[in-house]
């Protein structure tokens, strides 16, 4: 009996995973081939959650039909229902699950004592879920109760998140804020009833419940800032994630996917984080992930012990016009190698916001789209790292691997263009590898990992990502033409290749295909590649799409003020990366 049970458990299982975004839906099939799990096929179509379709399942079914055409494996029956489990004739799958970011983010009003303490912790918790901060009230706010009520009625929040006070700390001022907010909540109830979460001083829970009363459900979580120098975000993250999952019920047709699924739906960004955590454990170091989506930009930093995740739910290619709220037109055009009128930039960005599925029709449009992609990522990175690291320069921490998602990056005509966008926007330092989610399945793999970790691990090890290359960024101040890094390559042959890299340049060194190359990196005395000034390092790297890229342009990256000089420099950089 035990033997039969073991044999049954060892039988290979097949998995169909869907990821439903605002604009695109991707369905991926995973199964055993040649004794281990592989990505068998995947298909992408437009998401159908919004008019004129109003049924998210239509897009999933369309993608499944395309996947069947590619793989030859029937997955839907005549009534368009998923065949599950797999049949002896090869049709169907054993398991189905899905992730999504298609529902609207929770429109959120924050209430707390101070912007730089309690509200800062609240934001770090809310950044893990698809939320959008639409207003805040703290002790520095000079609006009276009447204006607060007007704000509630005008904004109609989905979520009111209250925090403030360390455990056993401030009471009176926070309770005064909550009493004022309760007026707005009671008036708002005639229109809609928002979710109300209290994540502040635990000593005040009963008094807050008494103020709110019984007409609005108060959800209590652990204090996000129980001590002045300590955060406790997990309970708040779990609670708000559950509220967003409830929001998914508003997606037309999602009930069918829930019936098919073996799991409750995961959030796309959190599924991406699961995959990133695997890479952090595998590498024993830090992994940075970025997902430039249509209606959100996700940035995460993961190491073997923890991860920081930020979802910017009001940024992305479908919100391209919002870039203009945080950046000027000149901030965007500074990345272009040609002159362009401000009106033309605005027209293209507004059109992209209205029609996020459109693709550039000319090289000039492509470079313009890549320019505002840089600004979107730059804004998210600078804002996020200041919050994570309390850093004034917005610098990312050193890391070993950069995971990249998002069609603006993965669908760049040339891989060097994607790499240049990332280097310009993130301005990383040190030595790291770059992996591109060309097939758009990293979130699907995170979902797969919750069903079968071994299947996810084997699929990743079988090369589902595109190895874009290795990057070395020496840090230090130098002069043009000054040699800042010596690179010695040895691929096992008798001869060695030596390259000197000058300050202010980008150098790409091709690698011999299908073999490892030993590389000795020796920085100049006042330059640092992550180990200290002048300290050399030897690395062993595999061949890749781009090869070994040395970015010796300096950090922070500065551009000339003169238009012609700057445009000429941008053209040189694009040429250097093969763009």
Q: Are residues 290 and 168 in the same domain?
A: no
- 69 plus 117 within the same structural domain: no
Q: Which residue has the tokens 């002896």?
A: 88
A 10 A CB-CB count for 158 gives 21
| 487 domain residue, yes or no | yes
Q: Is residue 212 part of a domain?
A: yes
Buried b (16+ CB within 10 A) or exposed e, 126-135: bbbbbbbbbb
- Compute the half-sphere exposure of residue 271: CA atoms within 13 Å on the CB side of its CA: 30
Q: Are 263 and 450 in contact (CB under 8 A)?
A: yes
End-to-end CA distance of the chain: 62
Task: Give the DSSP H/E element, type plus range, for residue 576.
Answer: helix 563-576
DSSP string, 332-351: HHTT-SS---HHHHHHHHHH
Task: Quote the CA–CA distance of 474 and 530 in Å, as a whole number.
Answer: 8
Under DSSP, the state recorded for 200 is S
554 and 531 within one domain:
yes
The DSSP output letter for 534 is: T
- Say how far apart CA 369 and CA 345 lie, in whole Å: 10
Instruction: Give one DSSP letter per residue of 21-75, joined into a string.
Output: -SSEEEEEEEEEETTEEEEEEEEEEE--SSTTT--HHHHHHHHHHHHHHHH----
Q: Judge if 82 and 175 occupy the same domain.
A: no
- 75 and 146 co-located in one domain: no
Report pLDDT for 3. Answer: 41
Q: What is the pLDDT of residue 4?
A: 42
What SS3 state is found at 310?
A: strand
DSSP string, 135-151: EEE-TT----HHHHHHH
Q: Could you tell me if 92 and 29 lie in one domain?
A: yes
Residue 186 lies in a domain: yes
Residue 4 domain flag: no
Crossing angle of helices 442-451 and 268-283, rounded to 10°: 80
Q: Are residues 129 and 206 in the same domain?
A: yes
pLDDT at res. 33 = 93
Instruction: Please report which helix (H) or strand (E) contains residue 244, including its range.
Output: helix 234-247
Same domain, 416 and 300: yes
Q: Which of residues 69, 100, 131 is at a domain's end?
A: 100
Q: Which long-range contacts does 382-391 make (Cβ < 8 Å, 24+ apart)? A: 383/312, 384/127, 384/299, 384/310, 384/312, 387/120, 387/123, 387/124, 387/127, 387/310, 388/124, 388/301, 388/308, 388/310
Indicate if 437 and 470 belong to the same structural domain: yes
Contacts of 250 (CB under 8 A, 6+ apart): 103, 104
- For residue 285, how many other CB atoms are within 10 A of its CB? 16
Residues 165 and 276 in one domain: no
Beta bridge partners of 135: 109
480 contacts: CB under 8 Å, gap ≥ 6: 502, 503, 504
Final residue in a domain of this structure, among 42, 69, 100 = 100
- Give the CATH number, domain containing residue 93: 3.30.420.40
- 387 burial level (CB within 10 Å; 0-12, 13-18, 19+): middle
For residue 230, the cross-strand partners are 227
d(Cα 469, Cα 116) in Å, to the nearest integer?
Answer: 39
Q: Is residue 364 part of a domain?
A: no
142 shares its domain with 65 = no
User: Which domain does 547 fall in, by range?
Assistant: 268-311+399-576
Is the bond leading into 52 cis (omega within 30 degrees of zero)?
yes
Kindly list the distances between the CA atom of residue 179 and the CA atoms of 207, 219, 451, in Å, as whole numbers in the listed order.
11, 17, 45
What CATH number does the domain containing 176 carry? Answer: 3.40.50.280
The answer to whether residue 418 sits within a structural domain is yes
For the chain, the domain total comes to: 3
Final residue before a domain boundary, out of 61, 83, 100: 100
Is residue 329 one of the residues assigned to a domain? no
pLDDT digit string, tens, across residues 68-90: 999 999 999 999 999 999 999 99
pLDDT value at position 8? Answer: 39
Report which DSSP code applies to 575.
Answer: H
Kind and range of the H or E run holding 276: helix 268-283
Burial 517-556 (b: 16+ CB within 10 A, else e): bebebebbeebbbbeeeeeeeeeebebbbbbbbbbbbbbe
Task: Chunk the chain into consecutive blocks of 10 residues (it has 579) and report each block's average pLDDT, rounded to whole numbers.
Answer: 42 94 95 94 95 95 97 96 95 97 94 91 94 94 92 96 87 90 92 94 94 93 93 95 92 94 94 94 91 92 88 83 87 95 92 86 94 92 71 72 94 93 95 95 96 95 92 94 94 79 94 88 95 95 90 94 96 91
pLDDT at residue number 10 = 60
Nearest-CA neighbor of 492 among 533, 534, 540, 530?
540
- State whether 238 and 273 are in the same domain: no
Q: Which of 170, 179, 184, 197 is nearest to 113 (CA)?
A: 170
CA distance 467 to 422: 15
The DSSP H or E segment spanning 299 is: strand 297-302
288 assigned to some structural domain: yes
Distance, in Å, from the CA atom of 206 to the CA atom of 18, rounded to the nearest integer, reads 43
């Amino acid at each position: 009996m035990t033997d039969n049970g073991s044999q049954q458990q060892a039988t290979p299982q097949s998995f169909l995973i869907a990821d439903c975004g605002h604009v695109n839906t991707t369905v991926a099939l995973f199964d055993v081939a040649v004794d281990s799990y592989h990505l068998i096929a995947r298909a992408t179509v437009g998401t159908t959650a919004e008019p004129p379709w109003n049924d998210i399942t239509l897009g999933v079914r369309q993608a499944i039909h395309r996947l069947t055409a590619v793989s030859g494996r029937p997955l839907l029956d005549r009534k368009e229902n998923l065949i599950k489990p797999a049949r002896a004739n090869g049709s169907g799958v054993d398991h189905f699950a899905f992730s999504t970011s298609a529902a609207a983010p929770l429109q959120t009003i924050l209430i707390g004592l101070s912007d730089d303490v309690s509200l800062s912790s609240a934001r770090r918790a809310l950044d893990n879920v698809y939320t959008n901060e639409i207003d805040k009230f703290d002790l520095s706010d000079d609006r009276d109760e009447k204006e607060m009520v007007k704000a509630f009625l005008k904004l109609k929040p989905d979520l009111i998140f209250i925090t403030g006070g360390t455990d056993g700390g401030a009471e009176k001022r926070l309770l005064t804020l909550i009493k004022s907010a309760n007026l707005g909540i009671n008036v708002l109830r005639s229109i809609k009833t928002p979710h109300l979460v209290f994540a502040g001083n635990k000593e005040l829970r009963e008094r807050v419940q008494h103020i709110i009363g019984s007409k609005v459900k108060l959800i209590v979580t652990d204090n996000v800032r129980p001590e002045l120098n300590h955060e406790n975000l997990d309970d708040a993250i779990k609670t708000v994630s559950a509220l967003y999952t409830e929001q998914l019920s508003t997606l037309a047709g999602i009930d069918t996917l829930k019936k098919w699924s073996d799991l409750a739906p995961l959030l796309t960004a959190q599924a991406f984080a699961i995959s990133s955590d695997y890479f952090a454990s595998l590498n024993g170091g830090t992994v940075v992930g970025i997902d430039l989506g249509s209606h959100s930009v996700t940035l995460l930093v993961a190491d073997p012990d923890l991860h920081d995740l930020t979802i910017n739910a009001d940024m992305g290619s479908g919100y391209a016009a919002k870039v203009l709220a945080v950046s000027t037109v000149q901030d965007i055009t500074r990345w272009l190698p040609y002159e362009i009128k401000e009106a033309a930039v605005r027209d293209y960005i507004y059109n992209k916001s209205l029609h996020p599925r459109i693709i550039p029709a000319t090289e000039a449009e492509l470079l313009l789209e890549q320019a505002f992609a840089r600004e979107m990522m730059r804004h998210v990175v600078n804002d996020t790292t200041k919050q994570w690291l309390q850093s004034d320069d917005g610098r990312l921490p050193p890391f070993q691997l950069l995971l990249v998602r998002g069609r603006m990056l993965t669908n760049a005509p040339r891989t060097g263009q994607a790499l240049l966008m990332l280097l310009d926007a993130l301005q990383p330092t040190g030595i790291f590898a770059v992996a591109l989610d060309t097939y758009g399945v990293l979130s699907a793999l995170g979902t797969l990992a919750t069903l079968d970790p071994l299947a996810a691990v084997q699929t990743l090890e079988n090369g589902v990502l595109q190895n874009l290359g290795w990057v070395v960024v020496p840090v230090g101040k130098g002069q043009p033409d000054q040699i800042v890094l010596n690179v010695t390559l040895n691929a096992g042959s008798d001869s060695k290749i030596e390259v000197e890299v000058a300050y202010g340049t980008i150098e790409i060194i091709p690698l011999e295909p299908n073999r490892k190359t030993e590389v000795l990196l020796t920085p100049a005395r006042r330059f640092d590649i992550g180990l200290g000034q002048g300290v050399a390092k030897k690395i062993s790297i595999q061949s890749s799409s781009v090869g070994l890229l040395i970015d010796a342009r300096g950090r922070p990256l500065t551009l000339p003020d003169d238009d012609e000089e700057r445009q000429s420099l941008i053209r040189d950089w694009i040429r250097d990366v093969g763009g």
